[in-house]
Amino acid sequence: MNKILTISIGNDHAGFGLKFLIIDKLSQLGYKTINHGCDGPNSVDYPDHGHKVALDVLQEKADLGIVICGSGNGINMTVNKHQGIRSALCWNPELASLARSHNNANILALPARFISEKIALKCLDAFLNQKFEGGRHLNRVNKINC
């Protein structure tokens, strides 16, 4: 029997619509979700939500994470401050696939204001369905943490 994966998701006000779309898709696919994001358009600070996702992944409350803000940059920088987090800012499915297969990314960062919902879902699919290749990439990934 396959283990049901848990995905922690966090977002700011720019990403709440995309978050709900992703949570719905994850639910359809049988994933459990932990929602740390805001649920409306009122301005919030993305670090408050990003840190919670990073901690869920590090504390193994979640298998993977997804973070969303307007550009994707701020929330991606936030989660990458945590030792052991490898978050990748992706705006197409090829980047999401490579982030997992070459960099063993454990969080997907999405730029809500710069990608369509269709592309975001393709990035999600690529991220979830790609496995880390290991091999020559393992040594490089092991050098990421300071």
Report the catalytic residues: 102
Q: Count CB-CB contacts under 10 A for residue 70.
A: 17
Dist. CA 127–CA 112, nearest whole Å:
16
Please state, in angstroms and as integers, the Cα–Cα distance from residue 98 to each residue in 38, 61, 89, 108, following that order: 29, 24, 11, 11
Query: For the chain, what is the total number of helices (H) and then of strands (E)?
Result: 6, 5
Instruction: Tell me the CB-side half-sphere exposure of residue 19, using CA atoms within 13 A.
Output: 27
Strand, helix or coil at 36? Answer: coil
